[in-house]
Each structure stands twice: as C-alpha cells, then as structure tokens.
Structure 1
C-alpha cells in the first residue's frame, strides 16, 4: 500500500516547487515556513495546499527534483564514456555535493526521523534518487567492462561499493554533527581516494 498522498499537478505547480526550493535551501526543513514558501512562490497558501497537503510532502518533492538534477548531470558524464578515472571522479564529486550539502543532510535526517510514521516517504525518495543513480552506475560499469576499460564481474556490488567509498567519513561526521561543513580540499581527498581504491580493484 502506498502511504504517500498523490500530488496534484497544475498550472502553478512548477512555480510552487521553485519557491519551495529557494526557501528550503536557504532555511532548511525546520526553518522553512509555509508562509515564506507561499510568498517566495508568489501564490496563496490555499494554492500551495491545493498541490501539497503539508510541508513534508512539499519538501520530499523538492528533494526528489534536486536529486534527479544531480543524477541527470552524472548520467550525462557516464554516457560520454571518457576515461574511467575522469568519469568516476566527476560522478563522485556530484554525489558528494548533494549528500554533504545542508539540503542533502536535511533530506537524510527527515527520512530517518519520519521512517516510523511515514515509511513510504523514505522509500519513494530512495526509489527516485539513490536507486536511479545506482542503476545508471551499473549501466556505466557494464559498458566500461565491455569496452575493456574496467573489469567488473559484479556490477551491482561494485556500484554499491563505489557509492559507499564516496561517503567515507565526511558524510558520517556531518550526520552525527561532528562537523558542520567541509572544505573543497577535504572533498577532493575523499573523491580521489574513492577513485583510486575503486580502480585498484576494478581497473582493467
């Protein structure tokens, strides 16, 4: 049974979504008010509620759209089939850019916090976000192996491994509040380490 309320789309749907995106990115989930979202979107609260029953559903829709944008960008990189080191580096940078951002952290925390009351929210986000990235990664690894650029006997497992390598310690420390931000140098270190380890195992 699907626990997520169906979303009605209409003429001002994209307008509401863009307004919500700007507020969520600026204020986070907890700090964002429906009044501010409606104001940023240039619509009434009644119009906003006609599309989304509550702030939680609106946030998840914005989260899925944000994740899709990152996935499409990574997919374009993977479809070009450049040297594996470059493809993996760019894909890792995009992945980390989302999960380490304030927005990405808010997505993760909300999915965990609401997992008991609204389990379908997390499942729906996973299905339209991380699962899609995993699928695209599997497709890339399959093609790269066919071309002889990589040697990956189990693409499903390897895709999961690469994603976990990208998370490394930065994601965990952000989630547990050990740190509030990361530097570009720290991200580069994790990305380069992930790519080096992955290629050491699966390089042709």
Structure 2
C-alpha cells in the first residue's frame, strides 16, 4: 500500500468496518461534505474508535482509495499467465482499466477529486499516486518484461503505458464523467479495449522475421 496512505493509520478489530462506513459517506457527500459524525454513525462505531484508527479525515480517504486501487491491480496481476499472448495480457489489463473506470467507486471517486482537488491538492496528488499512477507503474513493469522477452519493441515505456491507458478510455471516460452512462454499454467497452490493443500492437509489436 502507498506510504502516504499508511501514515498515522492504526489497525484494529473494527478497521474494515470504519473503512466501509467512510466509503459510503465520502461517495455520498464528497470529501468536504463528509462529517466525522456521519462516518462514525454509518460505520456503527464511536468517534473515539474512528480516531483511534485514523488521525484525520484525509488519512481515512487516502486509505480507502489506496485499498480500492491496489485491490484492482492485484486482481489483474494474479490472473496474468506467463503463457498468455501479448494481446491477451493487454486485453485483460484494458478490460480492468475500463471496468474500474465504470465502477460506482471509480466514477464517484474521480468526480469527487475533480470537484474538490483544487481545494485539497495533496488529496488529489495522493489519489493519482495510489490510483492512475499505480496502474501506470505496474503496466510499465509488465511492458518492460515483454520488451526484454522480445515480444515488444518500446523505446519509451512511460509514454507507451500512458498511451495504452488513454486508448482504453477512448469514447468512454467523458461520457461517464458527464453522466451519459446509458451510452457506455458492454459492447462499447469491448470495442474500445479491442481498438486500444490493436493500435498498441500496430505501433509496438515486433515485426515478423522475413
């Protein structure tokens, strides 16, 4: 878990209970609108218990985002098989990137950060490090291994990873951000991810030997 999210965090029997209650309130009321009283009430704990685990609201919000994003990344990596083709691995990664973006947590967290990031820039930076930044770094790691194994030819791994992530969002992200959710169907998601993989491979696949 990201170091920023661990600062000041203490664990105990009701730790997960507090996180789940806080998750509900943050996504309902936003960061600034969420009160410690409401979080404690939703979690079914006292304020003293809440403060025993988390010194303040920012640390609590960071922990929720870090855990949610790390869970998504770890789940993808657990499904990666060394025998997979490059296309299959990229498709798995792309589907999870799009899936997280479409999830209730993903959409609400991005909207929350977009709306309140100017007032809480440190919170926005931590969310990036624990979310999009973590996905980017893990993708760079896997692309590096594919290059070493001769499956891809990539000079700039950071740029290639960012390109793939953005390609997976094509035609999806803005519609979700502006609440045009009805236009984001499963077929459209598969189409976007398939196109991302095809474009990425067209640019970075190793040409067949003559």
Question: Where on the TM-score scale, by shorter chain, does this alignment land: which range?
Answer: 0.7 to 0.9
- After superposition, residues 35-184 of structure 1 pair within 5 angstroms as 37-38=39-40, 41-52=43-54, 57-78=59-80, 80=82, 82-179=84-181, 182-184=184-186
Q: For residues 4 and 62 of structure 1, what CA distance do their matches in structure 2 show?
A: 8
Greater shift in the superposed pair: 157-166 or 45-54: 45-54
Q: List alignment gaps of at least 5 residues for structure 2.
A: none
TM-score, normalisation: structure 2 = 0.80
Size of the aligned set, in residue pairs, is: 199
1:171 Cα shift? 0.8
Q: For residues 88 and 182 of structure 2, what CA distance do their matches in structure 1 show?
A: 29
Greater shift in the superposed pair: 45-54 or 60-69: 45-54
| 1:60/1:107 contact within 8 Å kept | no
Greater shift in the superposed pair: 110-119 or 153-162: 110-119
1:114 Cα shift? 1.8
Q: 1:127-175 CA deviation, whole Å, 9 max, x = no partner?
A: 1222222111111111111212112121111000000001111111111
Greater shift in the superposed pair: 79-88 or 182-191: 79-88
| Correspondence 1:185 to 2:184 | no
RMSD over aligned Cα, in angstroms? 2.8
Q: 1:23-76 CA deviation, whole Å, 9 max, x = no partner?
A: 36xx93328876665455442243224434665653442122111111112233
From the superposition, tell whether residues 114 and 52 of structure 1 become closer, same or farther in structure 2 (CA, over 3 Å).
farther
Report SS of the residue matched to 1:134: helix
From the superposition, tell whether residues 201 and 85 of structure 1 become closer, same or farther in structure 2 (CA, over 3 Å).
same
1:6 Cα shift? 4.6
| 1:60/1:121 contact within 8 Å kept | yes
TM-score, normalisation: structure 1 = 0.82
Q: For residues 120 and 163 of structure 1, what CA distance do their matches in structure 2 show?
A: 23
Q: For residues 17 and 182 of structure 2, what CA distance do their matches in structure 1 show?
A: 31
1:77 Cα shift? 4.0
- After superposition, residues 16-31 of structure 1 pair within 5 angstroms as 16-21=18-23, 23=24, 28-30=27-29
Q: For residues 97 and 142 of structure 1, what CA distance do their matches in structure 2 show?
A: 24
1:106 Cα shift? 1.3
